[in-house]
Structure 1
Amino acid sequence: MKAFLAILLKFLAGTGAALGIWGLLVAVLQPPSFMLPGPVDVLLAFPKHAGFLLHHAGITALETVLGFALGVTSGALLAISVWLFPLAGRVIMPPILVTQALPVFAIAPVLVLWLGFGMSSKIVMAILVIFFTVTSTVYDGLRRTETGLKDLARLYGVPRHKELWIFRLPSALPAFASGLRVAAVFAPMGAVVGEWAGAKGGLAFIMLQANARGNANLLFAAVILLALMVLAMRYAVEHLTRILVPWQVED
């Protein structure tokens, strides 16, 4: 509870500072309202469009959570498979590396073309954004098991699948936790990029509509909601990793 209150106080202090700087910039520079509205005008957009904003934020949140869960699961399973079957890994990894080399904005329209404007293309986009991060961190964790444990497994002739379960996976948990933290930040980005390419709803859908209509207040409100979503995901995953790897020391 104390940790939560400390985080909440830091968040409120940071938010207050950001709003103060924002308001000061608007007062000094006096930009056109369609380019940079004042913080008060944007905050007033929340009660004015509360139902609309929450509905579309819920769509993006669902896409993000599903993409995160599926991306983490598939990435971890691939890392385990590559370690168990190195020959298969040499065949599987090159196509995956190609998907990571392509810009996400190039992949998103193709996914919309194949999967439509619904939620599926956005979930797949979120999976693709975080998939390789989780795969690489878990695989590195499996390979970086302590030398003493690896020698012990070889000494007793432990089969590869038992070595994975007894020695490798526990040692890889800190690396897996690091991958989860990175994925928590990028999963919302993947969902939003997918929505940007074409969607029936979501925060990016609001941004596109608000931009087309010159409604900067609503546009900035959607951006703020997205930022809050990223922070919430990060905090939730941070808490989860502390439960998953309680022995990991943090400075």
Structure 2
Amino acid sequence: MLSTIIDVLADPMDGTALHGADDYSRLVSESSHSFDVAKQGYVTLAAGPGLKHHGDDMDMVSAREAYLSRGHFAPFVEAVTGSVQDALDGAEAESPTLLEVGAGTGYYLAHTLDSIAGSRGVGLDISPHAARHLAKAHPRIGAVVADVWERLPLQDSSIDAISVVFAPRNPAEFRRVLRPGGEVIVLTPGAGHLNELREPLGILGVEEGKVERMYEQAAGFLEQSSDPVDISFPIELDKDSIAAQVKMSPSARHISPAELAERMAALPASMTVTARARLDRLRAL
């Protein structure tokens, strides 16, 4: 609920504090800017009249919900939650405030909140379709539609830990909103992630140099706080899960439904594929 995180939110235009008005049907800033809360419980906090970028559409969000709900990425979820817990060890906050950027349906953030007593979470995504799921994912999640490439609609030094799972990053803004000692936990797909599906389905591969670019972008703002961890595990996927995985990924924009159906028909009833990712922890300079 937005009321649980209102004290950390900020006007995206001028950074002033927000408060709820008209029983939280609107958020209003100290500078009198007003932001309507959608009936589904999320708010769009954008500095301009609209968002420059587009996130997942309704079909991609539905596919993501279907795929993740089957537990196929459970080891990734556990790794992210465990790293957030480690990052919070020794923190003075009794009620830590967590931010997930590109939070999607809230699957990862909800698990982390369940694992950390007294925590609350800001789920930020650029997709209004994802935000509808986010707003219902956990009672201590506040769902916000915003662009990570712009000024984040958050107060300075308001966040105890940030998680980024296969999503974009803004190191300068991360440093600004992190409290002293706070960390950023980043999960990046590794080379060969789900590679067994690449050739038969013609889906996109993982870009080379993703981790190297992350550290180049972070220079001057964030630095590595612990050794990275490589994570890999096999997954047994039936055809429904394979289709959901493709439809939730960027490949959905490059393969027509007819092409996907034709390629899926040639697959066996189930396949074992390997999930691969790297987990990095960074702290503010």
Q: Verify same fold: TM over 0.5.
A: no
The alignment's TM-score, normalised by the length of structure 2, stands at 0.22
Q: In terms of Rg, which structure is larger?
A: 1
The alignment's TM-score, normalised by the length of structure 1, stands at 0.24
**Larger relative contact order (CA 8 Å, sep ≥ 6):** 1
More helix as a share of residues: 1
More strand as a share of residues: 2
